[in-house]
Amino acid sequence: MERIRTLASIKRDIENHVGEKVTLKANGGRRRILVNKGVLESVYPSIFVVRLEADTQRTVTYSYSDVLTKTVQLVFVG
């Protein structure tokens, strides 16, 4: 059985991995899944920022509720 996740526990987990490489799987809508690799750059009270590996100038932001609702999946690489 999967443990119950709250926004606070998700935020704590993500805060512990700042600076690490991640693989993002995001729902792009209309059955599209976007897969990107990058570095977890910073954490804020309601969002987190990932700098994409393919383009060093591009960052993406997601909210912790995106992780809770499984719109975004994070896999920590290192």
Is the per-residue pLDDT at 4 higher than 50?
Answer: yes
Mean pLDDT of 68-75: 93
**Rounded Cα gap, residues 30 and 24, in angstroms:** 18
Order across the sheet with 47-52: list the strands. 59-63, 47-52, 32-43, 21-29, 72-76
Model's pTM, two decimal places? 0.85
CATH of domain 7-76: 2.30.30.100
Structure tokens at 19: 């600076």
Structure tokens at 31: 């059955």
Q: What is the pLDDT of residue 2?
A: 55
Is the per-residue pLDDT at 1 higher than 50?
Answer: no
